[in-house]
Structure 1
Amino acid sequence: MERHNTPEAPAKPVTCPICGSTSVVRWGKDRHGAQRFLCRSEKPHTFVTVKPEPGPLGTMRLPVEKATVVLSLLVEGSSIRSAERVTGVHRDTICRLLSVVGPKCQVLLDRMVQGVKVSDVQADEIWGFVQKKEATKRRTGDLDPETGDAWTFVAIERESKLVLAHHLGQRTSLDADTFIEKLDRATTGRFQLTTDGLSAYPEAVSYHLGHRTDYAQLIKTYGTDQSEPERRYSPATIIGTEKRPVHGEPDEFKICTSHVERQNLTMRMQMRRLTRLTNGFSKKWANLQAALALHFAHYNLCRVHRTIRCTPAMAAGVTSTIWKMGDLLAA
Protein backbone atom coordinates (compact mmCIF):
# COMPACT_ATOMS: atom_id res chain seq x y z
CA MET A 1 0.00 0.00 0.00
CA GLU A 2 1.37 3.42 -0.98
CA ARG A 3 2.13 5.69 1.96
CA HIS A 4 0.47 9.09 2.09
CA ASN A 5 3.70 10.79 3.23
CA THR A 6 6.95 9.67 1.61
CA PRO A 7 10.22 10.76 3.31
CA GLU A 8 12.18 13.21 1.19
CA ALA A 9 15.40 14.96 2.14
CA PRO A 10 15.11 18.77 2.25
CA ALA A 11 16.99 20.80 -0.37
CA LYS A 12 18.98 22.48 2.40
CA PRO A 13 19.99 20.90 5.73
CA VAL A 14 17.40 21.53 8.43
CA THR A 15 18.06 21.33 12.16
CA CYS A 16 15.30 20.18 14.46
CA PRO A 17 14.40 23.09 16.78
CA ILE A 18 13.31 20.63 19.47
CA CYS A 19 16.29 18.28 19.85
CA GLY A 20 18.93 19.78 17.55
CA SER A 21 19.16 16.69 15.34
CA THR A 22 20.02 17.08 11.65
CA SER A 23 18.46 13.75 10.70
CA VAL A 24 15.45 15.47 9.21
CA VAL A 25 13.30 14.72 6.17
CA ARG A 26 10.34 16.53 4.63
CA TRP A 27 7.02 15.03 5.71
CA GLY A 28 4.18 16.64 3.77
CA LYS A 29 2.33 19.78 4.85
CA ASP A 30 0.05 20.63 7.73
CA ARG A 31 -3.55 21.86 7.37
CA HIS A 32 -2.32 25.45 7.02
CA GLY A 33 -0.08 24.58 4.07
CA ALA A 34 3.18 24.87 6.04
CA GLN A 35 6.05 22.49 5.23
CA ARG A 36 6.21 19.74 7.85
CA PHE A 37 9.41 17.86 8.76
CA LEU A 38 10.03 14.50 10.45
CA CYS A 39 12.90 14.32 12.90
CA ARG A 40 14.40 10.80 12.94
CA SER A 41 15.93 11.00 16.38
CA GLU A 42 15.51 8.35 19.09
CA LYS A 43 12.00 9.67 19.65
CA PRO A 44 10.71 10.58 16.16
CA HIS A 45 8.51 13.64 16.00
CA THR A 46 7.30 16.20 13.48
CA PHE A 47 7.65 19.97 13.41
CA VAL A 48 7.17 22.94 11.11
CA THR A 49 9.59 25.81 10.58
CA VAL A 50 7.82 28.93 9.31
CA LYS A 51 4.05 29.04 8.99
CA PRO A 52 2.88 30.79 5.81
CA GLU A 53 0.67 33.85 5.95
CA PRO A 54 -3.02 32.91 5.69
CA GLY A 55 -4.39 33.32 2.17
CA PRO A 56 -7.68 34.89 1.10
CA LEU A 57 -9.53 31.74 2.20
CA GLY A 58 -7.96 31.58 5.65
CA THR A 59 -7.02 28.04 6.61
CA MET A 60 -8.91 26.42 3.73
CA ARG A 61 -6.70 24.46 1.35
CA LEU A 62 -9.06 24.84 -1.59
CA PRO A 63 -7.24 26.48 -4.54
CA VAL A 64 -8.34 30.06 -5.12
CA GLU A 65 -9.04 29.31 -8.80
CA LYS A 66 -11.41 26.50 -7.85
CA ALA A 67 -13.05 28.65 -5.17
CA THR A 68 -13.64 31.38 -7.76
CA VAL A 69 -15.47 28.94 -10.03
CA VAL A 70 -17.62 27.65 -7.15
CA LEU A 71 -18.62 31.15 -6.03
CA SER A 72 -19.32 32.22 -9.62
CA LEU A 73 -21.77 29.33 -9.92
CA LEU A 74 -23.48 30.25 -6.65
CA VAL A 75 -24.08 33.89 -7.65
CA GLU A 76 -25.59 32.73 -10.96
CA GLY A 77 -28.33 30.71 -9.29
CA SER A 78 -26.74 27.27 -8.93
CA SER A 79 -27.51 25.20 -5.87
CA ILE A 80 -24.85 23.80 -3.55
CA ARG A 81 -25.19 20.32 -5.04
CA SER A 82 -25.18 21.64 -8.60
CA ALA A 83 -21.90 23.41 -7.89
CA GLU A 84 -20.62 20.18 -6.35
CA ARG A 85 -21.44 18.20 -9.50
CA VAL A 86 -19.87 20.77 -11.83
CA THR A 87 -16.66 21.43 -9.90
CA GLY A 88 -16.10 18.22 -7.95
CA VAL A 89 -15.80 20.22 -4.71
CA HIS A 90 -17.67 18.54 -1.84
CA ARG A 91 -20.84 20.28 -0.68
CA ASP A 92 -19.52 20.61 2.88
CA THR A 93 -16.45 22.39 1.53
CA ILE A 94 -18.69 24.70 -0.51
CA CYS A 95 -20.71 25.58 2.60
CA ARG A 96 -17.51 26.24 4.51
CA LEU A 97 -16.24 28.40 1.64
CA LEU A 98 -19.46 30.41 1.78
CA SER A 99 -19.10 30.86 5.53
CA VAL A 100 -15.59 32.26 4.99
CA VAL A 101 -16.31 34.51 2.01
CA GLY A 102 -19.73 35.80 3.14
CA PRO A 103 -18.48 37.70 6.22
CA LYS A 104 -15.58 39.09 4.16
CA CYS A 105 -18.07 40.45 1.63
CA GLN A 106 -20.18 41.98 4.41
CA VAL A 107 -17.15 43.79 5.84
CA LEU A 108 -16.28 44.98 2.33
CA LEU A 109 -19.80 46.34 1.76
CA ASP A 110 -19.85 48.09 5.13
CA ARG A 111 -16.51 49.74 4.33
CA MET A 112 -17.23 50.80 0.74
CA VAL A 113 -20.93 51.67 0.80
CA GLN A 114 -21.08 54.49 3.30
CA GLY A 115 -21.76 58.18 2.90
CA VAL A 116 -22.95 57.70 -0.70
CA LYS A 117 -24.63 60.71 -2.33
CA VAL A 118 -28.14 59.61 -3.40
CA SER A 119 -31.29 61.27 -4.70
CA ASP A 120 -34.03 58.63 -4.91
CA VAL A 121 -34.07 55.49 -2.75
CA GLN A 122 -36.58 52.64 -2.66
CA ALA A 123 -36.89 50.01 0.08
CA ASP A 124 -38.80 46.75 0.31
CA GLU A 125 -38.68 43.30 1.93
CA ILE A 126 -38.46 39.89 0.29
CA TRP A 127 -39.71 36.73 1.97
CA GLY A 128 -37.79 33.51 2.45
CA PHE A 129 -37.44 30.88 5.14
CA VAL A 130 -34.78 28.89 6.94
CA GLN A 131 -35.20 25.13 7.47
CA LYS A 132 -39.03 25.30 7.67
CA LYS A 133 -41.88 27.70 7.04
CA GLU A 134 -43.47 29.61 9.90
CA ALA A 135 -46.65 27.50 9.91
CA THR A 136 -44.62 24.30 10.27
CA LYS A 137 -42.52 25.92 12.98
CA ARG A 138 -45.63 26.76 15.02
CA ARG A 139 -47.15 23.33 14.49
CA THR A 140 -44.00 21.55 15.69
CA GLY A 141 -43.42 23.89 18.63
CA ASP A 142 -39.99 24.97 17.37
CA LEU A 143 -38.75 27.96 19.40
CA ASP A 144 -35.45 28.46 17.58
CA PRO A 145 -35.28 32.15 16.53
CA GLU A 146 -33.09 31.22 13.54
CA THR A 147 -35.64 29.01 11.80
CA GLY A 148 -38.88 29.82 10.04
CA ASP A 149 -39.68 32.95 8.05
CA ALA A 150 -36.72 35.14 7.11
CA TRP A 151 -37.29 38.58 5.60
CA THR A 152 -34.55 40.43 3.74
CA PHE A 153 -34.86 44.22 3.81
CA VAL A 154 -33.29 45.87 0.75
CA ALA A 155 -32.69 49.52 -0.17
CA ILE A 156 -31.66 50.47 -3.72
CA GLU A 157 -30.80 53.79 -5.37
CA ARG A 158 -33.05 54.38 -8.34
CA GLU A 159 -30.50 55.94 -10.74
CA SER A 160 -27.29 54.01 -10.00
CA LYS A 161 -29.06 50.73 -9.05
CA LEU A 162 -26.67 50.47 -6.09
CA VAL A 163 -27.91 48.34 -3.19
CA LEU A 164 -27.22 50.64 -0.26
CA ALA A 165 -28.20 48.40 2.64
CA HIS A 166 -29.73 45.05 3.42
CA HIS A 167 -30.80 43.33 6.62
CA LEU A 168 -31.98 39.82 7.42
CA GLY A 169 -34.64 39.55 10.10
CA GLN A 170 -38.39 39.66 10.66
CA ARG A 171 -40.97 42.28 9.70
CA THR A 172 -40.83 43.84 13.16
CA SER A 173 -40.21 47.35 14.47
CA LEU A 174 -36.79 46.32 15.79
CA ASP A 175 -35.58 44.93 12.46
CA ALA A 176 -37.04 47.85 10.51
CA ASP A 177 -35.18 50.24 12.82
CA THR A 178 -31.91 48.33 12.36
CA PHE A 179 -32.35 48.39 8.59
CA ILE A 180 -33.07 52.12 8.41
CA GLU A 181 -30.07 52.77 10.67
CA LYS A 182 -27.89 50.93 8.12
CA LEU A 183 -29.42 53.03 5.36
CA ASP A 184 -28.59 56.17 7.33
CA ARG A 185 -24.91 55.17 7.55
CA ALA A 186 -24.78 54.29 3.85
CA THR A 187 -26.13 57.62 2.56
CA THR A 188 -25.46 61.33 2.79
CA GLY A 189 -27.44 64.40 1.83
CA ARG A 190 -31.17 64.85 1.34
CA PHE A 191 -33.10 62.36 -0.79
CA GLN A 192 -36.55 61.00 -1.54
CA LEU A 193 -37.40 57.66 0.06
CA THR A 194 -40.23 55.32 -0.88
CA THR A 195 -41.09 52.15 1.03
CA ASP A 196 -43.96 49.71 0.99
CA GLY A 197 -46.74 49.96 3.55
CA LEU A 198 -45.00 48.20 6.47
CA SER A 199 -46.28 49.99 9.59
CA ALA A 200 -42.87 49.90 11.30
CA TYR A 201 -41.21 52.15 8.71
CA PRO A 202 -42.56 55.65 9.52
CA GLU A 203 -41.24 55.73 13.09
CA ALA A 204 -37.84 54.29 12.10
CA VAL A 205 -37.45 56.69 9.17
CA SER A 206 -38.53 59.65 11.28
CA TYR A 207 -35.95 58.80 13.96
CA HIS A 208 -32.94 58.11 11.73
CA LEU A 209 -33.66 59.99 8.49
CA GLY A 210 -36.46 62.43 9.27
CA HIS A 211 -34.21 65.47 8.95
CA ARG A 212 -33.01 64.68 5.42
CA THR A 213 -35.69 62.69 3.59
CA ASP A 214 -38.86 63.36 1.66
CA TYR A 215 -40.63 60.17 2.60
CA ALA A 216 -43.69 58.42 1.20
CA GLN A 217 -45.20 54.95 1.31
CA LEU A 218 -46.65 53.11 -1.68
CA ILE A 219 -49.39 50.87 -0.34
CA LYS A 220 -50.61 48.12 -2.65
CA THR A 221 -53.83 46.18 -2.20
CA TYR A 222 -53.82 42.60 -3.46
CA GLY A 223 -56.68 40.35 -4.50
CA THR A 224 -57.20 37.03 -2.72
CA ASP A 225 -59.09 35.03 -5.35
CA GLN A 226 -57.78 31.46 -5.29
CA SER A 227 -60.71 29.84 -7.12
CA GLU A 228 -58.51 28.57 -9.95
CA PRO A 229 -55.83 26.00 -9.02
CA GLU A 230 -53.10 27.72 -11.05
CA ARG A 231 -53.59 30.95 -9.07
CA ARG A 232 -51.87 29.31 -6.13
CA TYR A 233 -48.56 29.45 -7.99
CA SER A 234 -48.97 32.93 -9.48
CA PRO A 235 -48.36 36.35 -7.92
CA ALA A 236 -51.39 37.92 -6.29
CA THR A 237 -53.26 40.41 -8.45
CA ILE A 238 -52.86 44.08 -7.51
CA ILE A 239 -56.31 45.64 -7.29
CA GLY A 240 -55.30 49.06 -6.01
CA THR A 241 -52.43 51.35 -4.96
CA GLU A 242 -52.24 54.34 -2.65
CA LYS A 243 -49.43 56.92 -2.56
CA ARG A 244 -49.22 58.17 1.00
CA PRO A 245 -46.81 61.05 1.82
CA VAL A 246 -45.43 60.68 5.35
CA HIS A 247 -43.12 63.66 5.87
CA GLY A 248 -41.17 66.20 3.87
CA GLU A 249 -42.21 67.02 0.32
CA PRO A 250 -41.98 63.81 -1.72
CA ASP A 251 -42.43 64.14 -5.49
CA GLU A 252 -45.59 62.18 -6.27
CA PHE A 253 -44.22 61.18 -9.68
CA LYS A 254 -41.24 59.47 -7.99
CA ILE A 255 -43.25 57.54 -5.39
CA CYS A 256 -42.40 54.10 -6.72
CA THR A 257 -41.03 50.72 -5.61
CA SER A 258 -40.71 49.10 -9.04
CA HIS A 259 -36.91 49.19 -9.08
CA VAL A 260 -36.44 47.52 -5.70
CA GLU A 261 -39.09 44.93 -6.62
CA ARG A 262 -37.08 44.19 -9.76
CA GLN A 263 -34.08 43.67 -7.48
CA ASN A 264 -36.20 41.15 -5.58
CA LEU A 265 -36.60 39.20 -8.82
CA THR A 266 -32.83 39.33 -9.38
CA MET A 267 -32.32 37.85 -5.91
CA ARG A 268 -34.75 35.00 -6.55
CA MET A 269 -33.15 34.27 -9.93
CA GLN A 270 -29.53 34.42 -8.75
CA MET A 271 -29.85 32.92 -5.27
CA ARG A 272 -31.12 29.35 -5.28
CA ARG A 273 -31.95 29.76 -1.57
CA LEU A 274 -34.72 32.22 -2.45
CA THR A 275 -36.16 30.45 -5.50
CA ARG A 276 -39.72 29.43 -4.71
CA LEU A 277 -41.02 25.84 -4.73
CA THR A 278 -37.63 24.12 -4.58
CA ASN A 279 -35.71 22.25 -1.88
CA GLY A 280 -32.73 24.61 -2.21
CA PHE A 281 -33.84 26.80 0.71
CA SER A 282 -31.38 27.61 3.49
CA LYS A 283 -31.02 25.16 6.35
CA LYS A 284 -28.99 27.55 8.55
CA TRP A 285 -29.55 31.24 9.24
CA ALA A 286 -25.82 32.03 9.08
CA ASN A 287 -25.53 30.49 5.62
CA LEU A 288 -28.36 32.67 4.33
CA GLN A 289 -26.66 35.75 5.76
CA ALA A 290 -23.39 34.78 4.07
CA ALA A 291 -25.16 34.12 0.75
CA LEU A 292 -26.85 37.53 0.88
CA ALA A 293 -23.55 39.32 1.51
CA LEU A 294 -21.91 37.45 -1.39
CA HIS A 295 -24.83 38.24 -3.69
CA PHE A 296 -24.89 41.97 -2.95
CA ALA A 297 -21.10 42.34 -3.12
CA HIS A 298 -21.10 40.63 -6.52
CA TYR A 299 -24.13 42.63 -7.69
CA ASN A 300 -22.69 46.01 -6.65
CA LEU A 301 -19.07 45.50 -7.68
CA CYS A 302 -18.82 42.75 -10.32
CA ARG A 303 -22.01 42.53 -12.34
CA VAL A 304 -22.44 44.98 -15.22
CA HIS A 305 -26.00 46.31 -15.19
CA ARG A 306 -27.40 46.42 -18.73
CA THR A 307 -29.42 49.58 -18.11
CA ILE A 308 -26.49 51.71 -16.95
CA ARG A 309 -23.78 49.72 -18.81
CA CYS A 310 -21.46 49.54 -15.81
CA THR A 311 -21.60 48.16 -12.30
CA PRO A 312 -23.84 49.93 -9.76
CA ALA A 313 -20.76 50.78 -7.68
CA MET A 314 -19.20 52.53 -10.68
CA ALA A 315 -22.41 54.45 -11.40
CA ALA A 316 -22.54 55.62 -7.78
CA GLY A 317 -18.87 56.65 -7.74
CA VAL A 318 -17.92 54.05 -5.15
CA THR A 319 -15.29 52.48 -7.43
CA SER A 320 -13.90 53.16 -10.90
CA THR A 321 -13.37 49.60 -12.17
CA ILE A 322 -15.28 46.39 -12.73
CA TRP A 323 -14.31 43.89 -10.05
CA LYS A 324 -13.77 40.18 -10.56
CA MET A 325 -14.68 37.40 -8.17
CA GLY A 326 -10.99 37.05 -7.34
CA ASP A 327 -10.93 40.71 -6.28
CA LEU A 328 -13.70 40.01 -3.76
CA LEU A 329 -11.64 37.17 -2.29
CA ALA A 330 -8.50 39.30 -2.08
CA ALA A 331 -10.18 42.39 -0.62
Structure 2
Amino acid sequence: MVLPFEKLEDSCPNCGSKQFTKNGSIMRKKPKYGCQKCGHQFVKNSTKIWVTQEQKNLIDKLLLERISLRGIKRVVGVSWRWLQNYVNKKFEQIPRQVKVSDKPKGKLTIECDELWSFVDRKNNKYWIWLALDRKTREIVGCYIGDRSRSSAKKLWASLPPVYCQCAVAYTDFWEAYDTVIPALRHRPVYKDSGETNHIERLNNTFRQRISRLVRETLSFSKKVENHIGAIWYFIHHYNAQIANSL
Protein backbone atom coordinates (compact mmCIF):
# COMPACT_ATOMS: atom_id res chain seq x y z
CA MET A 1 0.00 0.00 0.00
CA VAL A 2 1.36 3.41 -0.99
CA LEU A 3 1.48 5.85 1.89
CA PRO A 4 0.77 9.53 1.09
CA PHE A 5 3.34 12.20 1.82
CA GLU A 6 1.16 13.83 4.48
CA LYS A 7 1.24 10.68 6.65
CA LEU A 8 4.97 10.17 6.31
CA GLU A 9 5.79 13.83 6.98
CA ASP A 10 8.95 13.39 4.91
CA SER A 11 10.25 12.75 1.40
CA CYS A 12 12.76 10.26 0.07
CA PRO A 13 16.20 11.55 1.09
CA ASN A 14 17.68 10.11 -2.12
CA CYS A 15 15.33 11.40 -4.85
CA GLY A 16 12.69 13.54 -3.08
CA SER A 17 9.76 11.33 -4.15
CA LYS A 18 6.63 11.38 -1.97
CA GLN A 19 5.44 7.85 -2.77
CA PHE A 20 6.50 5.03 -0.41
CA THR A 21 5.61 1.58 0.81
CA LYS A 22 6.19 0.32 4.33
CA ASN A 23 9.06 -2.16 4.35
CA GLY A 24 9.55 -3.73 7.76
CA SER A 25 11.51 -2.13 10.58
CA ILE A 26 15.05 -1.60 11.79
CA MET A 27 16.63 -3.16 14.90
CA ARG A 28 14.99 -0.69 17.29
CA LYS A 29 11.51 -1.44 15.92
CA LYS A 30 11.45 1.85 14.04
CA PRO A 31 9.40 1.56 10.79
CA LYS A 32 11.33 1.40 7.55
CA TYR A 33 10.03 2.62 4.19
CA GLY A 34 10.91 1.93 0.57
CA CYS A 35 10.75 4.60 -2.15
CA GLN A 36 8.71 3.47 -5.16
CA LYS A 37 10.66 5.71 -7.53
CA CYS A 38 14.31 4.90 -6.78
CA GLY A 39 14.04 1.89 -4.47
CA HIS A 40 15.88 3.64 -1.65
CA GLN A 41 15.07 2.44 1.88
CA PHE A 42 14.98 4.82 4.84
CA VAL A 43 13.40 5.49 8.22
CA LYS A 44 11.24 8.44 9.13
CA ASN A 45 12.91 11.30 11.01
CA SER A 46 16.30 9.64 10.72
CA THR A 47 19.23 11.48 12.26
CA LYS A 48 21.48 10.20 9.47
CA ILE A 49 22.65 12.89 7.02
CA TRP A 50 21.85 11.89 3.44
CA VAL A 51 23.85 13.10 0.44
CA THR A 52 21.54 14.45 -2.25
CA GLN A 53 21.89 13.89 -5.99
CA GLU A 54 22.68 17.58 -6.38
CA GLN A 55 25.61 17.19 -4.00
CA LYS A 56 26.81 14.14 -5.94
CA ASN A 57 26.61 16.09 -9.21
CA LEU A 58 28.66 18.88 -7.64
CA ILE A 59 31.26 16.39 -6.43
CA ASP A 60 31.51 14.92 -9.95
CA LYS A 61 32.28 18.40 -11.29
CA LEU A 62 34.77 19.24 -8.55
CA LEU A 63 36.69 16.02 -9.25
CA LEU A 64 37.54 17.60 -12.61
CA GLU A 65 39.12 20.67 -11.01
CA ARG A 66 42.35 21.20 -9.11
CA ILE A 67 40.86 20.75 -5.67
CA SER A 68 41.77 18.09 -3.12
CA LEU A 69 39.32 15.58 -1.69
CA ARG A 70 39.62 17.36 1.64
CA GLY A 71 38.66 20.57 -0.13
CA ILE A 72 35.66 18.88 -1.79
CA LYS A 73 34.60 17.58 1.64
CA ARG A 74 34.64 21.11 3.04
CA VAL A 75 32.85 22.68 0.06
CA VAL A 76 30.06 20.10 -0.28
CA GLY A 77 29.64 19.35 3.42
CA VAL A 78 29.88 15.55 3.34
CA SER A 79 31.78 13.20 5.61
CA TRP A 80 35.31 12.17 4.73
CA ARG A 81 34.49 8.46 4.94
CA TRP A 82 31.47 8.77 2.65
CA LEU A 83 33.38 10.86 0.11
CA GLN A 84 36.33 8.45 0.00
CA ASN A 85 34.00 5.48 -0.55
CA TYR A 86 32.09 7.38 -3.24
CA VAL A 87 35.28 8.33 -5.09
CA ASN A 88 36.74 4.82 -4.79
CA LYS A 89 33.61 3.28 -6.31
CA LYS A 90 33.39 5.91 -9.05
CA PHE A 91 37.00 5.53 -10.15
CA GLU A 92 36.71 1.72 -10.16
CA GLN A 93 33.96 1.99 -12.78
CA ILE A 94 35.80 4.36 -15.15
CA PRO A 95 36.64 2.66 -18.50
CA ARG A 96 40.38 2.37 -19.19
CA GLN A 97 40.02 2.82 -22.95
CA VAL A 98 39.77 6.01 -25.01
CA LYS A 99 36.56 6.95 -26.76
CA VAL A 100 37.14 9.02 -29.91
CA SER A 101 35.21 9.88 -33.04
CA ASP A 102 35.54 7.50 -35.99
CA LYS A 103 38.33 8.34 -38.44
CA PRO A 104 38.62 7.16 -42.05
CA LYS A 105 41.91 5.71 -43.20
CA GLY A 106 44.16 8.44 -44.50
CA LYS A 107 46.61 11.03 -43.29
CA LEU A 108 46.60 11.22 -39.50
CA THR A 109 49.12 12.92 -37.23
CA ILE A 110 49.60 12.29 -33.53
CA GLU A 111 51.92 13.70 -30.88
CA CYS A 112 53.13 11.49 -28.02
CA ASP A 113 54.74 12.33 -24.70
CA GLU A 114 55.20 11.07 -21.13
CA LEU A 115 54.07 12.95 -18.03
CA TRP A 116 55.75 12.24 -14.68
CA SER A 117 53.65 11.61 -11.57
CA PHE A 118 53.93 9.65 -8.34
CA VAL A 119 51.82 7.64 -5.91
CA ASP A 120 52.28 7.89 -2.12
CA ARG A 121 55.93 9.01 -2.36
CA LYS A 122 58.01 10.71 -5.01
CA ASN A 123 60.31 7.79 -5.69
CA ASN A 124 57.25 5.66 -6.56
CA LYS A 125 56.98 7.05 -10.08
CA TYR A 126 54.13 6.56 -12.51
CA TRP A 127 54.44 7.90 -16.05
CA ILE A 128 51.36 8.95 -17.98
CA TRP A 129 51.89 8.11 -21.64
CA LEU A 130 49.62 10.14 -23.90
CA ALA A 131 48.90 10.34 -27.62
CA LEU A 132 47.05 13.36 -29.05
CA ASP A 133 45.44 13.78 -32.46
CA ARG A 134 46.99 16.98 -33.79
CA LYS A 135 43.96 17.96 -35.88
CA THR A 136 41.06 17.23 -33.54
CA ARG A 137 43.00 17.59 -30.23
CA GLU A 138 41.43 14.36 -28.98
CA ILE A 139 43.38 12.13 -26.63
CA VAL A 140 43.61 8.97 -28.71
CA GLY A 141 45.85 6.84 -26.50
CA CYS A 142 46.89 6.53 -22.87
CA TYR A 143 48.80 4.17 -20.64
CA ILE A 144 49.94 4.68 -17.04
CA GLY A 145 52.98 2.77 -15.84
CA ASP A 146 56.76 2.98 -15.83
CA ARG A 147 58.93 4.61 -18.51
CA SER A 148 60.05 1.42 -20.20
CA ARG A 149 59.70 0.05 -23.71
CA SER A 150 56.87 -2.14 -22.42
CA SER A 151 54.85 0.95 -21.46
CA ALA A 152 55.53 2.57 -24.84
CA LYS A 153 54.24 -0.60 -26.46
CA LYS A 154 51.07 -0.47 -24.35
CA LEU A 155 50.53 3.18 -25.32
CA TRP A 156 50.73 2.19 -28.98
CA ALA A 157 48.34 -0.73 -28.35
CA SER A 158 45.84 1.65 -26.72
CA LEU A 159 45.42 3.60 -29.97
CA PRO A 160 42.37 2.92 -32.16
CA PRO A 161 43.43 0.61 -35.05
CA VAL A 162 43.23 3.34 -37.69
CA TYR A 163 45.99 5.30 -35.90
CA CYS A 164 48.23 2.24 -35.60
CA GLN A 165 47.84 1.69 -39.33
CA CYS A 166 48.06 5.23 -40.68
CA ALA A 167 49.26 7.84 -38.21
CA VAL A 168 52.57 9.69 -38.35
CA ALA A 169 53.81 10.05 -34.77
CA TYR A 170 55.89 12.95 -33.43
CA THR A 171 57.74 12.23 -30.18
CA ASP A 172 60.80 13.33 -28.26
CA PHE A 173 64.00 11.29 -28.48
CA TRP A 174 63.14 8.88 -25.66
CA GLU A 175 64.55 5.58 -26.90
CA ALA A 176 61.50 3.50 -25.96
CA TYR A 177 59.58 4.94 -28.93
CA ASP A 178 62.13 3.72 -31.49
CA THR A 179 61.34 0.05 -31.04
CA VAL A 180 57.55 0.47 -30.91
CA ILE A 181 56.46 3.00 -33.54
CA PRO A 182 57.01 1.91 -37.17
CA ALA A 183 60.20 3.63 -38.36
CA LEU A 184 58.65 5.04 -41.55
CA ARG A 185 56.02 6.89 -39.52
CA HIS A 186 58.09 7.89 -36.50
CA ARG A 187 59.31 11.51 -36.28
CA PRO A 188 61.50 12.11 -33.21
CA VAL A 189 62.01 15.85 -32.71
CA TYR A 190 63.40 18.33 -30.19
CA LYS A 191 60.95 20.36 -28.12
CA ASP A 192 61.96 23.64 -29.74
CA SER A 193 60.87 22.29 -33.15
CA GLY A 194 57.24 23.07 -32.28
CA GLU A 195 56.07 19.68 -33.53
CA THR A 196 55.02 18.53 -30.05
CA ASN A 197 53.59 21.81 -28.79
CA HIS A 198 50.04 20.47 -28.53
CA ILE A 199 50.87 17.44 -26.40
CA GLU A 200 53.12 19.55 -24.14
CA ARG A 201 50.26 22.02 -23.70
CA LEU A 202 48.00 19.09 -22.83
CA ASN A 203 50.48 18.02 -20.15
CA ASN A 204 50.17 21.49 -18.64
CA THR A 205 46.36 21.20 -18.73
CA PHE A 206 46.59 17.93 -16.82
CA ARG A 207 48.69 19.57 -14.10
CA GLN A 208 46.35 22.55 -13.92
CA ARG A 209 43.16 20.47 -13.67
CA ILE A 210 44.15 17.32 -11.74
CA SER A 211 45.34 18.12 -8.23
CA ARG A 212 47.15 14.76 -7.95
CA LEU A 213 49.54 15.83 -10.72
CA VAL A 214 50.64 19.20 -9.33
CA ARG A 215 54.39 19.03 -8.71
CA GLU A 216 54.34 20.55 -5.22
CA THR A 217 51.10 19.24 -3.73
CA LEU A 218 49.58 17.66 -0.66
CA SER A 219 46.83 16.13 -2.85
CA PHE A 220 48.91 13.25 -4.16
CA SER A 221 47.39 9.79 -4.62
CA LYS A 222 47.94 7.10 -2.00
CA LYS A 223 46.29 4.33 -4.01
CA VAL A 224 47.39 3.40 -7.53
CA GLU A 225 43.82 2.52 -8.49
CA ASN A 226 42.54 5.99 -7.58
CA HIS A 227 45.48 7.65 -9.30
CA ILE A 228 44.74 5.84 -12.55
CA GLY A 229 40.98 6.29 -12.13
CA ALA A 230 41.26 10.06 -11.63
CA ILE A 231 43.36 10.42 -14.78
CA TRP A 232 40.98 8.36 -16.90
CA TYR A 233 38.01 10.25 -15.45
CA PHE A 234 39.52 13.50 -16.69
CA ILE A 235 40.46 11.99 -20.08
CA HIS A 236 36.86 10.94 -20.77
CA HIS A 237 35.59 14.37 -19.76
CA TYR A 238 38.22 16.08 -21.91
CA ASN A 239 37.38 13.99 -24.99
CA ALA A 240 33.63 14.53 -24.46
CA GLN A 241 34.21 18.30 -24.47
CA ILE A 242 36.25 18.02 -27.66
CA ALA A 243 33.56 15.84 -29.31
CA ASN A 244 30.91 18.44 -28.51
CA SER A 245 32.96 21.12 -30.25
CA LEU A 246 33.68 19.12 -33.44
Q: Same fold (TM over 0.5)?
A: yes
Q: Does 1:72 align with 2:64?
A: no
* 8 Å Cα contact 1:119-1:157 kept in structure 2: yes
Counterpart contact for 2:120–2:223, Cα < 8 Å: yes
Question: What is the aligned counterpart of 1:113 among 88, 95, 100?
Answer: 100
CA distance in 2, matches of 1:262, 1:187: 21
- Give the superposition deviation at 1:47: 9.3
Query: What's 2:79 paired with?
Result: 90
Contact preservation (8 Å) 2:92, 2:225: no
Contact 1:162 1:300 in 2 (8 A): yes
Give yes or no for the alignment of 1:192 onto 2:168: yes
Structure 1 residue 10 displacement after superposition: 5.9
Shift of 1:173: 1.4
Aligned residue in 2 for 1:151? 127
Structure 1 pair 47/274, CA: closer, same or farther in 2 (3 Å)? same
Question: What is the rounded CA distance, in whole Å, between the counterparts of 2:147 and 2:21 in structure 1?
Answer: 51
Q: Pick from 186, 195, 198: which aligns with 1:256?
A: 195
Classify 1:315/1:122 alpha carbon distance in 2 versus 1 (closer, same or farther; 3 Å): farther
In 1, the alpha carbon distance for the partners of 2:38 and 2:162 equals 33
Which residue of the other structure, out of 144, 147, 154, is the alignment partner of 1:168?
A: 144
Indicate if the aligned counterparts of 1:196 and 1:217 stay in contact, CA closer than 8 A: yes
Change in CA separation of 1:282 and 1:219 when aligned onto 2, cut-off 3 Å? same
* Aligned match for 1:215, one of 167, 172, 186: 186
Following TM superposition, where does structure 1 have runs of at least 4 consecutive aligned residues deviating by more than 4 angstroms? Answer: 44-55
Once the two structures are TM-superposed, the CA of residue 68 in structure 1 deviates from its matched residue by: 1.5
**Cα shift at 1:150:** 0.9
Shift of 1:282: 0.8
Say whether the 8 Å CA contact 1:273–1:281 is kept in structure 2.
yes
Cα 1:101–1:49 change in 2 (3 A) is closer
Which is higher, the Rg of structure 1 or of structure 2?
1
Whether 1:313 and 2:243 are equivalent positions in the alignment is yes
Alignment of 1:276-295 (within 5 A): 276-295=215-234
Give 1:70 deviation, angstroms: 1.0
Q: Tell me the TM-score normalised to structure 2 length.
A: 0.75
Q: Cα gap change, 1:288/1:11 in structure 2, threshold over 3 Å: closer, same or farther?
A: same
Q: CA deviation at 1:48?
A: 8.9
3-state DSSP of counterpart to 2:236: helix
Which stretch has the larger CA shift, 197-206 or 179-188?
A: 179-188
1:26-41 aligned within 5 A: 37-38=23-24
Q: 1:11 to 1:273 in 2, by over 3 A?
A: same
1:272–1:54 Cα change, 3 Å: farther
Helix, strand or coil for the counterpart of 1:77? Answer: coil
Which AA in structure 1 matches 2:100?
Answer: V
SS in structure 1 of the partner of residue 159 of structure 2: helix
Q: How does 1:24-63 map to 2 (within 5 A)?
A: 37-38=23-24, 62-63=51-52
Q: Which residue of 1 aligns with 2:180?
A: 204
Q: CA, structure 1 residues 281+36, in 2 after alignment: closer, same or farther (shift >3 Å)?
A: farther
Given candidates 196, 206, 213, the residue that maps to 1:267 is 206
Paired with 2:201 and 2:224, the residues of 1 have a C-alpha distance of 24
Amino acid at match of 1:178: K
* Residue identity matched to 2:189: L
CA distance in 1, matches of 2:162, 2:64: 23
Q: Quote the offset at 1:50 in angstroms.
A: 9.9
- Alignment-mate amino acid for residue 265 of structure 1: N
Q: Cα RMSD over matched residues?
A: 3.7
